[in-house]
Structure 1
Amino acid sequence: MKVGSTMKDTKFDFETVIDRHDTNCLKWDCFDDDLPMWVADMDFKVAPTISESILKRAKHPIYGYTIVPDELFESYINWWNRRYDFEMSKENMMYSIGVMPSISSMIRCLTDVGDEILIQSPVYHVFYYVIEENDRKVIENELIYENGIYRIDFDDLDEKLSKVKMMILCNPHNPIGKTWSKEELYKIGQLCSKNDVILISDEIHCDLTDPDIKYNPFEISSNYKKVITCLSPSKSFNIAGFQSSIVHTKNKELFEKIKMQLHIDNSDSCNVFATNAVIAAYNDSEEWLEKLKITLFENKIFVRNYLKEELPIIKLLDCDATYLLWLDCSSLNIPSKEISESLRANQGLFLSAGIDFGKNGDEFLRMNIACPKKILKEGLERLKEGIISLNS
């Protein structure tokens, strides 16, 4: 869908449709779909302060090997301390090219081939790949879905933690968009402690909560000691292409093992523009993020109202985090892959099939709503047309 429009003279522009074709864009250039609403990046311009910082660095004509400056770590420290009362220190932080490369490295250095690793499904599909492709085994603690709400099956979690060496937590949770409470996180920590399980908390979506809602960092919600937190501005500020994140743990034994493995895997080097982007994001782009959160919340309300009025056979799961909506299609009695493939073939609309996130996600579709309202409206219209056609 190559759409152009006149740029609006506003401080933060979340309305202009920007043509991303021919930019080597995973979302728009890799497939023939007219309207991709699947992969988790945003179709909004980044904060002006980030663009300005990148352009300033680009004016220097040499782009050689780059170190990670203290200012980058300080930007993380100040952000999490100010916004989430999470006190970090530089000696507990490691730079990495991304959250999933970090988790892959940690799987290799903290577990052995054949070990079992627990995840809570339905969950981010790459968790499955990174475990299985490292020759470990996936153990699922399936989330319980009742009356439109997900909750943790703690009895099942306790039983399965007794068999595994590691747990990977998604906080907030993708794809259900849930921020876990302090009580839930504390209980997870208790069970991990009881069973001596290493916990990795992927908190990449933490900033993308509804306005006036804050996520709860695992490390300050639990007194558990074998915990590692993965953080990145990539989702919050739409800068995934810079491949930048940090790993944080106060456990010195785990720290040294992880640091060595990141180095072995060449995952601790820095993109020449990444430091500028991260520092500008955390130090100078907070106002942009707050406006973004309002835009995403408005988009979510728009989807909820549209489905109620135009397509009530599809239910929107209530959620308070991420820009990824989990659509309940159970009334159709059609496998999610079949729905997704039909929408792509007949409407050019690419939504993620729920089965990709675990077998207990097969009655759902995942929709990315981080886009201008014009794109969102068209996506919903195509969804309506496709579902009506399938259901008939």
Structure 2
Amino acid sequence: MTYDFDMIVPRRGTGSYKWDTPEEENVLPMWVADMDFRTAPAIIEALQKRVEHGIFGYAKVPETYYDAVVRWFESRHRWRINPQWIIYTSGVVPALSAVIKALTVPGDKVIVQTPAYNCFYSSIRNNGCELSVNNLIYQDGRYAMDFKDLEAKAADPKAKILLLCNPHNPVGRVWTPEELRRIGDICLRNEVFVVADEIHCELTYEGHDYTPFASLSECFLQNSVTCVSPSKAFNLAGLQIANIIVADKEVRRRIDRAININEVCDVNPFGIIATIAAYNDSGQWLDALRKYLWENYEYLCHFFEEHLPQYSVLPLEGTYLVWIDCRASGIGSDAITLRLQKEQKLLVNSGTMYGPGGEGFIRLNIACPRILLADGLERILKYIRKHMRLLPHGKIR
């Protein structure tokens, strides 16, 4: 079966946060992490069938939901999950907040490998905890973990949790089993609990397989929780559903209690139906999507090589979010994004919103039809030529 990812689906005027936040009609949004593609046909069909029923009362999560999650992770990622480990909730961010509430007290420290997803910081702050920064090492156009610094941060008696992002948003790394084992060993030695945000786990590319952290050993499984959702891979974020996978019974009890305290213990019928259809019937669509996203990335790389070679496009191992090094401009990330919005009507994310290490970078969402990607890249080029006085072949005057 073929899928048309080149089709333009108008989103303005549909209540889209991504498209309707800017008031001007000619603004092109390449910021918020949702996709401009229709979701898989099997999901649409399942939702249409549910809509035809016409009654949308409180939902009970059926056994078929748990079966779908278990089957998917075993077949796609070689990880056998006990269905009793699964706690459903309304999203990965509420999940992270509930886990922090359950496993810390105000004043505890949470380690974050920065630059990192911006909601990590608010989840830490909202629970009265302190941020402990473990900066990733950026060298030769690629990011690596600073294990020496991680060991020092984990040794702090106040450090209770490491927020692990795999695949990593925004830098696009898919951490290898060897890197994950080193993290796990450090955290075990120092009694630091690993909270793995693996929401982008389905969006990886050739040569960069996703490894669930908890699948590597029984010790890692017991010393961690994993937060996942079909929302990124199948473009279902608005249906608000996610799962926390927790093997330890006592930890599971505490998290379940925190979810109820935070009032994020209920999910809607559409999220349930969509998850089942995604995991049971939409694998072929996902594989086609990943191929299209990779071709978008290659298109972007060729564009930068031809027109903007002084800016480094980082390797994309996972996610559909491209991290671009713009430090050659000599202009801060906030100024670049503000000028792009004001002068070129293009919305991208400033690297500063991802915390330490983000200055000088921008994040670009390439999950869109290629014609929109090409439009966005041309807008970037126009901005750069105006402000950096570039020659047509990409050299600075």
TM over 0.5: yes
Counting only pairs closer than 5 Å after superposition, residues 154-233 of structure 1 correspond to structure 2 as 154-163=147-156, 164-211=159-206, 213-222=208-217, 223-224=219-220, 225-233=222-230
Q: Select which of 352, 368, 372 maps to 2:369.
A: 372
Deviations 1:293-321 (A, max 9, x none): 00000000000000000111221001211
Indicate conservation of the 8 Å contact 1:119/1:141, yes or no. Answer: yes
Tell me the TM-score normalised to structure 1 length.
Answer: 0.96
The worse-fitting range, judged by mean Cα deviation, of 44-53 and 26-35 is 26-35
2:62 maps to 69
2:327 maps to 330
Q: Select which of 347, 357, 363 maps to 2:344.
A: 347
| Cα distance in 2, alignment partners of residues 238 and 212 from structure 1 | 24
1:303 maps to 300
Indicate conservation of the 8 Å contact 2:172/2:317, yes or no. Answer: yes
| Cα distance in 1, alignment partners of residues 207 and 305 from structure 2 | 25
Structure 1 residue 13: deviation in Å? 1.4
Query: How many residue pairs align between the two structures?
Result: 383
1:260 corresponds to which letter in structure 2? R
| Cα distance in 2, alignment partners of residues 376 and 50 from structure 1 | 26
Deviations 1:44-89 (A, max 9, x none): 0111110000000000121100011111111111011001111101
Which runs of 5 or more structure 1 residues have no equivalent in the other structure? Answer: 1-9
CA separation of 1:247/1:76 partners in 2, compared to 1, >3 Å: closer, same or farther?
same
The worse-fitting range, judged by mean Cα deviation, of 69-78 and 291-300 is 69-78
Q: Select which of 8, 12, 27 maps to 2:18.
A: 27
Deviations 1:208-266 (A, max 9, x none): 01146420110112432210000100000000111011111111111110011112222
Post-superposition, which runs of at least 4 consecutive aligned residues in structure 1 deviate over 6 A? none
| Cα distance in 2, alignment partners of residues 382 and 319 from structure 1 | 22
2:309 maps to 312
SS of the residue corresponding to residue 39 of structure 2 reads coil
1:92 maps to 85
2:259 maps to 262
| Cα distance in 2, alignment partners of residues 320 and 249 from structure 1 | 27
Structure 1 residue 32: deviation in Å? 3.0
SS of the residue corresponding to residue 196 of structure 1 reads coil
Deviations 1:342-365 (A, max 9, x none): 100000001100111113111110
Deviations 1:147-187 (A, max 9, x none): 00111110100000122111110011001111101011011
Indicate conservation of the 8 Å contact 1:211/1:293, yes or no. Answer: no
SS of the residue corresponding to residue 93 of structure 2 reads helix
Indicate conservation of the 8 Å contact 2:196/2:225, yes or no. Answer: yes
1:261 corresponds to which letter in structure 2? A
| Cα distance in 1, alignment partners of residues 277 and 316 from structure 2 | 29
1:112 maps to 105
Tell me the TM-score normalised to structure 2 length.
Answer: 0.95
Q: Select which of 56, 69, 74 maps to 2:49.
A: 56
| Cα distance in 2, alignment partners of residues 67 and 282 from structure 1 | 18
| Cα distance in 1, alignment partners of residues 270 and 142 from structure 2 | 41
Aligned-CA RMSD value: 1.1
SS of the residue corresponding to residue 112 of structure 1 reads coil
Q: Select which of 380, 390, 396 maps to 1:383.
A: 380
2:9 maps to 18
| Cα distance in 1, alignment partners of residues 262 and 119 from structure 2 | 18
Q: Percent identity?
A: 39
Indicate conservation of the 8 Å contact 2:135/2:356, yes or no. Answer: no
Which runs of 5 or more structure 2 residues have no equivalent in the other structure? Answer: 390-397
Indicate conservation of the 8 Å contact 2:197/2:226, yes or no. Answer: yes
Matched, 1:239 2:236: yes
Structure 1 residue 16: deviation in Å? 0.9
| Cα distance in 1, alignment partners of residues 208 and 328 from structure 2 | 31
| Cα distance in 1, alignment partners of residues 137 and 17 from structure 2 | 33
| Cα distance in 2, alignment partners of residues 16 and 338 from structure 1 | 33
Q: Select which of 94, 100, 122 maps to 1:129.
A: 122
Structure 1 residue 107: deviation in Å? 1.1
